[in-house]
Amino acid sequence: MEQLELFDLAPDFRSHKKFKNRIFREKAELELELRQQGRDEIVYVLSFGGGTQSAHLLEQHLQGRIHYDYIIFSDTGAEPQFIHEQVEWWRARQRSFGNKTPFIIARHSIMKGGLEEMLMRWILTDYQRFQMPVYCSTLDQQTGEIKPAGMMPRQCTVDFKIIPVKQAARRMVMEKLGLEYRQKMPDHIGFIIDIGFSYDEIRRINTDQSPQFKYMRLAYPLVEENLTTSDSIRFLEENNFPMRRSRCYLCPFNCDGARDIGMDWEEIIESEPLSFLKACWFDDKLREVQKTGTKIMRSIPYLHYSRQPLKEVYPSDYTRIREANGIELEEWAIEWTACIKENHGLR
Ligand code: SF4
């Protein structure tokens, strides 16, 4: 309620309780703090998501308004192809500027196949850690009624997007210094990693201190500019830049018919039918495995917010795509099974 009232007023991050409570601070203050700790050499990193808001920051970098030493895109292994194409578009734009800032593609350090690998591992092995924000239902044992039961925590953004960026930044600096990744970071080096959250996403900010690396701080320049997601989209539109929203093809935050915000299942169905089929496959498998009782997950998981099987939300699309792409889906599942067997062993 407090937040809704706030959005009726002109955005001002300084009035927000998260800023007042020092959950996050301005970039200038983070820089000062690092320097006071003797970390005079600050490495500036853009965590690039390939979508709209971090593209806004990348453009500011290309225009010479923000300095970055590294631009790092973390591949979650489940972005739609159109996001990879958008990333390539930005790389080409960077080249057209003659901008030489290293542009790095990072991945999860253990599961190089990203979220697909995590899910396949969960489905096919005894692996218990489930890192996606799926919608949950519970079965009332007495009445037999199935009731909504919240969502699983969203751990995937941290594990598959933010941590790989930090690790890649660390690796680049250690290599430059001729040090091994595992060695201690020299005391005079600090990092500031820019995250492309917008003012309307302040709720997603939990800290400006990296929990993994004490010499890394997290900054939110769009929030400091009081820019909202719509402001970034408008900026991209006015400049004729690509505007697809970055997310995984199976992300539970996809909506129905939300083309205006660009996070909808229809976009996946139209642009990448096979990915939609994979999402339906995962959605079914998650419940199938959860039902066996071998997982610590007690609730029934769904990718769609209605808590219905995804294929039943879009029945005619599912049937059509299943007919057209069913063989490719089976080949993909066979390939993954072989890969999981080799890397993790099957249950
Ligand atoms: S886009 Fe969705 S599924 Fe992908 S990392 Fe973010 S929250 Fe997780």
Distance 250 CA to ligand 1 centre (A): 8
> How far, in Å, are 27, 60, 61, 228, 326 from residue 65 at the CA level?
14, 5, 5, 19, 48
Q: Is the distance from the beta carbon of residue 152 to the nearest atom of ligand 1 less than 6 Å?
A: no
> How far, in Å, are 155, 178, 199 from residue 203 at the CA level?
15, 39, 9
Residue 251 corresponds to which amino acid? C
Looking at residue 142, its pLDDT comes to: 84
**Nearest C-alpha neighbor of 27 from the set 11, 12, 45:** 45
Is pLDDT at 3 greater than 80 in this prediction?
no
Q: Is the distance from the beta carbon of residue 248 to the nearest atom of ligand 1 less than 6 Å?
A: yes
Is pLDDT at 8 greater than 90 in this prediction?
no
Residue 5 corresponds to which amino acid? E
Beta bridge partners of 216: 191
CA 166 – CA 74 distance, rounded (Å): 10
Q: Please tell me the residue having the least CA distance from ligand 1 atom 2.
A: 251
Is pLDDT at 315 greater than 60 in this prediction?
yes
Q: Please tell me the residue having the least CA distance from ligand 1 atom 1.
A: 247
**Residue 178 CB contacts under 8 Å (≥ 6 apart), including other chains:** none
The tokens 């969960």 sit on which residue? 122
**Residue 33 CB contacts under 8 Å (≥ 6 apart), including other chains:** 217
Distance 308 CA to ligand 1 centre (A): 20
Q: Is the distance from the beta carbon of residue 251 to the nearest atom of ligand 1 less than 6 Å?
A: yes
173-205 confidence digits (pLDDT tens)? 999 999 999 999 999 999 999 999 999 999 999
Q: Please tell me the residue having the least CA distance from ligand 1 atom 7.
A: 157
Distance 34 CA to ligand 1 centre (A): 31
Tell me, what DSSP letter sits at residue 13? G
Q: Is the distance from the beta carbon of residue 279 to the nearest atom of ligand 1 less than 6 Å?
A: no
Q: Is the distance from the beta carbon of residue 222 to the nearest atom of ligand 1 less than 6 Å?
A: no
Neighbour tally for 230: CB within 10 Å: 14
Q: Please tell me the residue having the least CA distance from ligand 1 atom 8.
A: 156
Q: Is the distance from the beta carbon of residue 268 to the nearest atom of ligand 1 less than 6 Å?
A: no
Q: Is the distance from the beta carbon of residue 76 to the nearest atom of ligand 1 less than 6 Å?
A: yes
The pair of three-digit structure tokens given for residue 300, joined into one six-digit string: 């029934």
Judge whether 252 and 305 are in contact, CB under 8 Å: yes
For the chain, what percentages of helix, strand and coil (3-state, to nearest 5) are there? 45, 15, 40
pLDDT level of residue 1 (50, 70, 90 thresholds) = very low
Q: Please tell me the residue having the least CA distance from ligand 1 atom 3.
A: 251
User: Residues of 88-126 as b/e, b for ≥16 C-beta within 10 angstroms?
Assistant: eebbebbeeeeeebebbebbbeebebbbbbbbbbbbbee
Looking at residue 259, its pLDDT comes to: 57
Tell me, what DSSP letter sits at residue 15? G
Q: Reduced to 3 states, what is the DSSP secondary structure of residue 195?
A: coil
46-75 confidence digits (pLDDT tens)? 999 999 999 999 999 999 999 999 999 999
Q: Is the distance from the beta carbon of residue 108 to the nearest atom of ligand 1 less than 6 Å?
A: no
| Percent of the chain residues past pLDDT 90, beyond the cut | 90
252-291 confidence digits (pLDDT tens)? 998 887 655 668 999 999 999 999 999 999 999 999 999 9
CA 254 – CA 265 distance, rounded (Å): 6
Is pLDDT at 4 greater than 70 in this prediction?
no
Beta bridge partners of 106: 74
N-term to C-term CA, the chain: 47
Q: What's the rounded mean pLDDT across residues 234-248?
A: 95
Residue 169: phi, psi to the nearest 5?
A: -65, -45
